[in-house]
């Protein structure tokens, strides 16, 4: 089991970015707690879309948030991708 704790998941620029995205894509259960609490920047939006797309029909993803789904689109920097 892999657990990533903290408000922000920081990714160093030493090549481990792709490794982390790959690990998150392959884990059997991914729980995103406080989903969109602070919103996502463009690069974070792209990374999340890649992870979610890679996980499609391969693993479970749980989004835990107090933010109504109707307000999710306002938390993405790239608003075109959130629609």
Ramachandran assignment for 15, one of left (phi > 0), alpha (psi -120 to 50 degrees), beta (any other) = left
Q: Is 18 domain-assigned?
A: no
67 lies in some domain: yes
Give a yes or no: residue 38 inside a domain: yes
Q: Is residue 72 part of a domain?
A: yes
Q: Does 43 reside within a domain?
A: yes
pTM of the shown model? 0.68
| CA dist., res. 44 & res. 14, Å (int) | 17
- Going by pLDDT thresholds of 50, 70 and 90, the confidence category of residue 7 is very low
Alpha helices in 1-83 (DSSP H): 16-26, 42-55
Q: In Å, how far from its chain's centre is CA 52? A: 7
Q: pLDDT digits over 26-70, tens only?
A: 888 888 888 888 878 888 888 888 889 998 988 899 989 998 989
Which H or E run includes 33? strand 29-33
Angle between the N-to-C axes of helices 16-26 and 42-55, in degrees from 0 to 180, rounded to the nearest 10: 40
Residue span of the structural domain in which 80 resides: 29-83
Q: What are phi and psi of 24, to 5 degrees?
A: -65, -35
Q: Is residue 17 part of a domain?
A: no
Q: How many domains does the chain have?
A: 1
């Amino acid at each position: 089991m892999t657990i990533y704790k903290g408000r922000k998941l920081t990714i160093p620029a030493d090549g481990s970015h792709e490794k982390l995205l790959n690990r998150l894509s392959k884990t059997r259960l991914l729980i995103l707690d406080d989903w969109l609490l602070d919103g996502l920047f463009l690069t974070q939006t792209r990374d999340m879309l890649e992870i979610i797309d890679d996980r499609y029909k391969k693993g479970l993803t749980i989004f835990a948030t107090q933010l109504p789904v109707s307000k999710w689109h306002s938390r993405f920097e790239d608003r075109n991708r959130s629609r």
